[in-house]
Amino acid sequence: MRALRLTAWGETPTLAEVERPAPHGAEVLVRVEATGLCHSDLHVIGAAPGNLPYRLPFTLGHEVAGRIETLGPDTDGVRVGDRVVLYGPWGCGACDRCATGRDNYCDRRDTLAWHGAGLGRDGGMAEYVLVPSARHLVPIGDLPADQAAPLSDAGLTSYHAVAGLRHALAEGATTVVIGVGGLGHLAVQILRATTAARVLAVDVREDALALADRSGAEFGTLVRADTAHVLRERSGGAGVDAVLDFVGTTQTLELAAGVLRPGGELAVVGSGGGHLTVSKPGVLPPGFRLSLPFWGTRPELAEVVALARSGAIHVETERFPLSAATEAIDRLRGGRVRGRAVLVP
């Protein structure tokens, strides 16, 4: 089968012919229908040698939807032909976090680092993907694959981040979403669908702000010298209740801290490598709370799928054949993807 293999750190992955895997034990083989391209894939591809605990080569792709092709002899609860989305953080399966569907916070972080789909383990930018256990599969019914695949990270991570903010989001609360790309445009929709909060959006691209508008944001602004001021004015003057930062550079972290009102909360999702200094006393608002949400839980993935099936959220996608993966990667790197790029084998 064809698979997009990362063979050297910092080098563009290449499409190669590899053996189609066969499921053993509790494993399940899924025929891939669509796989999302995440900005994290760019972070992984561009990582310096030794920075990530993954052994090369492996197949990329951690946002995967498809149809069950073959079952290992010890699987149960799923059938050949079922359409599914993959829950991507493959934890140890034995700790209390994994036992309650929170593999994303598996206690065996060393294990988790090795076990993510497309993150050290062969993922879904291929014709087939081998899943270690049926517990990582969530049914999608007749949801189109290009809608379902991005739910497993862009949707799930945004949903989990919003769920973590809920105490800051009372009726009339104002939120800011920084970075309206694959994750951010779904965060805007999830805020609108699951909270009563007002949503303001920030990006460096006009077309991303147009997407924010289509996704239900009340107002969008480009990053400029006076952005913090503009957002504060929009909030009514006191500042906003919560910020979701899908960029995570020093610039966006400082913008976020600068627009929060007392008691406000910042969720940093973007892996931009920025820094924010915590000091007391200091410039952070009193009562400031910070979270670093990572991916989401398996029950939350089922909830995100249900939201999408109800029509409450819709992924804006650009489709590419798997053979054009390099073009999709170049476009994402250049900030030229609207919503989520999805690869179709």
* CA angle 81–86–88, rounded 5-degree value: 160
Cβ pair 66, 124 in contact under 8 A: yes
Q: How far is CA 3 from the centre of its chain?
A: 22
Query: Which of residues 47 and 230 has its CB atom nearest to Zn ion in the complex?
Result: 47
Site string for Zn ion, 20-39 (x = CB under 5 A): ------------------x-
Q: Which one among 2, 108, 205, 309 touches ligand NAD, defined by CB under 6 A?
A: 205
SS3 content of the chain, % helix, strand, coil (to 5): 35, 25, 40
- Taking CB under 5 A as the rule, does residue 149 contact Zn ion? no
Part in contact with Zn ion (CB under 5 A); list of ranges 85-93, 123-131, 158-166, 210-218: 85-93
* Cβ-based burial of 324 (10 A; exposed 0-12, middle 13-18, buried ≥19): middle
Residues 42-81 that bind ligand NAD (CB under 6 A): 43
Number of shown-chain residues binding ligand NAD (CB under 6 A):
34
Query: Which of residues 211 and 322 has its CB atom nearest to ligand NAD in the complex?
Result: 211
- Taking CB under 5 A as the rule, does residue 95 contact Zn ion? yes
Q: How far is the CB of 276 from Zn ion (least distance, A)?
A: 22
162: Cβ contacts below 8 Å, ≥ 6 apart? 169, 187, 190, 191, 194, 195, 244
- Taking CB under 5 A as the rule, does residue 98 contact Zn ion? yes
- Taking CB under 6 A as the rule, does residue 246 contact ligand NAD? yes
- Closest residue to ligand NAD, judged by C-beta, is 181
In this structure, the strands spanning 317-321 and 340-344 are parallel
- Taking CB under 6 A as the rule, does residue 128 contact ligand NAD? no
Q: Which one among 152, 157, 235, 297 touches ligand NAD, defined by CB under 6 A?
A: 157
Residues 215-244 that bind ligand NAD (CB under 6 A): 223
Beta-strand runs (E) in the chain: 2-6, 14-17, 28-37, 58-59, 63-71, 83-86, 116-117, 120-121, 128-131, 137-139, 174-178, 198-203, 219-222, 240-245, 260-268, 289-291, 317-321, 340-344
Q: How far is the CB of 26 from Zn ion (least distance, A)?
A: 16
Residue ranges that bind ligand NAD, judged by CB under 6 A: 38-40, 43, 153, 157, 178-184, 202-205, 208, 223, 246-249, 251-252, 269-272, 293-295, 332, 335
